[in-house]
Amino acid sequence: MLKLKKFGKALAAAALVAGSTAVAAAEWPTQPVNLVVPYPPGGPTDIVARVVADELGKRLGQTVIVDNRAGAGGNIGADLVARANADGHTLLIATTAHAINMSLFKNLNYNTRTSFEPVSLLTEGPLVLVTNPDVKAGSVKELVELAKSSKHGLTFASSGNGQSTHLSAELFRTMAGIEMTHVPYKGSAPAMTDLMSGQVDIMFNTMLSSMPFVKEGKLKALAVTSAQRSQAAPDLPTIAESGYPGYEATAWNGLLAPKGTPADVLAKLNGALKEVLADPSVKERFAAQGFDARWLSTQDFGAFIDNEISKWADVVEKSGATVN
């Protein structure tokens, strides 16, 4: 009888915990949701975040605030969210960099695999290989020939160490067997300014940041980094079809929550995002930036991140890329 009483109490306690979790999830969010963007305002990730915040807030019935916490290649914002309360009110807009940083930086205060709960992918799209108009190359083949014939090789800009704009170029350098010197900047805007003025030769950058300058004749576009041609620039070949089969690098944005966030909260958030990313107006706004809206289940997004970490770790090792 005593054992039965203890068993009954244990069941009651378990039911109470389960019930409180369900109630918490049903009531969430109970306050404004903080969407941490680990980059400055105005960049591609910030633009994606503001579209998502606006639409997500409508579906959750709560304000979603975009909080820019830039610095250290996206690591400052990521560390902040990793240490936040796991109640679903502080979330991270993660990018390709948070997969790359796992192998590029030696002393991170967070672990992309274990410090967060995956929620969903948000967007994915190619980068575009652009050059200063004075660079004597009109194709990827001619660019490689130029690099091989140049005494000092080429210089390439990036929006910062560990960004997709950095490692996509390192992957290309390794596959093409050419010399290129990395020149990191604090964001895409200053990098583009120096590229257009001839301070650096090339850059792998987002289509959102690059294509307006291409249309104005201030930059030349040679290829896109995706496996297939981009609908935003269908005349541009891929790097893979330009002589480097297997080359593929995409810039993505996704949503992560602190480790330990209740599963029911994650499910509610993931379901709301599914509606947001299926909205035709959202798809149209992302397409104009060269991104595809892409929803994934929490489980599939976790697998996606795991694969990205492994992929870029291999690139870092083979290329010898370092943080400088």
Summarize pLDDT for 25-35 with one digit per residue, the tens. 568 999 999 99
DSSP 86: S
Summarize pLDDT for 191-250 with one digit per residue, the tens. 999 999 999 999 999 988 898 899 999 999 999 999 999 988 899 999 999 999 999 999
How sure is the predictor about 284, in pLDDT bands with cuts at 50, 70 and 90? very high
Pick the CATH number of 30-125+250-319 from 3.40.50.720, 3.40.190.150, 3.30.1330.30, 3.40.50.150: 3.40.190.150
Domain boundaries, the chain: 30-125+250-319, 126-242
Residue with token string 């120096």 = 194
pTM, two decimal places: 0.85
Give 46's Cβ-side CA count (13 Å radius): 15
What pLDDT score was predicted for residue 18?
45
What pLDDT score was predicted for residue 19?
45
H/E stretch holding 168 reads helix 164-176
- b/e code 263-272 from CB counts within 10 Å (16+ = b): ebbbebbbeb
User: Higher-confidence residue: 18 or 267?
Assistant: 267
- 30-125+250-319 and 126-242, same CATH topology: yes
What is the rounded CA–CA span in Å between residue 271 and residue 167?
32
What pLDDT score was predicted for residue 231?
84
Summarize pLDDT for 21-71 with one digit per residue, the tens. 444 556 899 999 999 999 988 888 999 999 999 999 999 999 999 999 998
CATH architecture of the domain with residue range 126-242: 3-Layer(aba) Sandwich (3.40)
Q: Concatenate the DSSP letters of all residues of 26-53 into one string.
A: HH--SS-EEEEESS-TTSHHHHHHHHHH
